[in-house]
Amino acid sequence: MAKITSVSPLAPAAFPELPVIDGVRFASVAAGVRYAGRTDVMLTLLDPGSTVAGVFTRSATRSANVLDCQSKIGGDGDAGAAIIVNSGNSNAFTGKAGDGSVAAICAAVAKATGLPEARVFTSSTGVIGERLPHDRIIAKVDDLVASLDPGKGDEAARAIMTTDTFPKGACTTVALPGGEVKIAGFAKGSGMIAPDMATMLVYIFTDAKVSRADLQTMVSEINDRSFNCITVDSDTSTSDTLLMGATGASGVDVSLADSDFAQALEGVFLDLAHQVVKDGEGATKFVTVNVTGAKTDADARTHALAIANSPLVKTAVAGEDPNWGRIVMAVGKSGAAADRDRLTIRFGDVLVAENGWVAPSYKEEDGAALMKQPEITISVDIGLGAGKATVWTCDLTHGYISINADYRS
């Protein structure tokens, strides 16, 4: 896997100090899944009474881990739950051997924690098509259980990194009528990012008391407005997984009617989703694509993704070239309804084009100055209706080629 020698210029100043979420403990270890001496496995243990929800890739070639999690996620149980994750090997496209690896790992974790195997969830991330050396993971399970600690979320976040240049964490505290609750989580992701469910690998926890059904609804709906609205390279992973656990340790009941909790949770989702884009392989620019005036929201999303995924748009951004013609191209090719003569395009607050041509007020130097900023907003109004969507992406630089050309080395 390509050696990462520098941190993304868009990285936050520091990993946040994640609050302790009562009822959740973490541990990590170097198991040598792919590299000797590299921390590459993390275990999370949730106390009895916790509920778990999740969303997963809809890839037709999803991994054995994803299929196993999907089969378990709808189950209720008071026994608690465990999440064990390895980096370095995705356990995808490994046939029946992949299923056997998942079964073996689940059995080992269940034995060490006293949990039913149905409450053990696994994720694997890394190279596709190579058998997972699950014996190396199993050999470390007892060590993981013995070192579980509620304050080790930051170490767990680092253990799941592959081509990430920084660990990604987010947290918040929200005051509700019943009391204060905490939300904290972490994610990994840098390339192969065009989620069709959740994204990459994401783990979020709260001490709120939430029914499994309500938690699943919140996760699914908020995911659609956050992780499902990011793209780095238009490629959807075989392993994308988002799991969320609610321990109930605060004693504060939360339901779908609690908009303050949902808003706080969405903030954490968005924070993590944006960090993934800011760590896009080789990224130097964070780009927000706003589309309004489409016939429907679905059409707006189609247009936004066409812009965000266009290599020509992304390389223009990388080169700080305000090439608005490439935006016109992307809208035209998207397949959603559009009218050339009704398009309005803005870079930031600079009006670039309107009524089917460049705006009379537009000056190339204004567009060029805006494109030099590390965070750029591209806004397009289609002029056909009330549909709208926002998608987040990054630029496409030679760094992306360098990382992925050497990925398996």
List active site positions.
199
CA distance 103 to 108: 9
- Angle CA(190)–CA(194)–CA(195) in degrees, nearest 5? 100
What is the SS3 string spanning the chain? CCCCCCCCCCCCCCCCCCCCCCCEEEEEECCCCCCCCCCCEEEEEECCCCEEEEEECCCCCCCHHHHHHHHHCCCCCCCCEEEEEEEEECCCCCHHHHHHHHHHHHHHHHHHHCCCHHHEEEEEEEECCCCCCHHHHHCCHHHHHHCCECCCHHHHHHHCCCCCCCCEEEEEEEEECCEEEEEEEEEECCCCCCCCCCCCEEEEEECCEECHHHHHHHHHHHHHCCHHHECCCCCCCCCCEEEEEECCCCCCEECCCCHHHHHHHHHHHHHHHHHHHHCCCCCCCEEEEEEEEECCHHHHHHHHHHHHHCHHHHHHHHCCCCCHHHHHHHHHHCCCCCCHHHCEEEECCEEEEECCEECCCCCHHHHHHHHCCCEEEEEEECCCCCEEEEEEEECCCHHHHHHHHCCCC
Residue 209: name the closest of 247, 176, 182, 173 by CA.
247
- Amino acid sitting at position 216: Q
Beta strands 387-394 and 286-294: pairing type? antiparallel
CB 342 within 8 A of CB 384: yes
Using the structure block, give the residue that is written with the tokens 């053990």.
Answer: 120
- Angle CA(222)–CA(224)–CA(230) in degrees, nearest 5? 115
For residue 312, what are the contacts with CB-CB under 8 A and spacing of at least 6?
323, 326, 329, 330
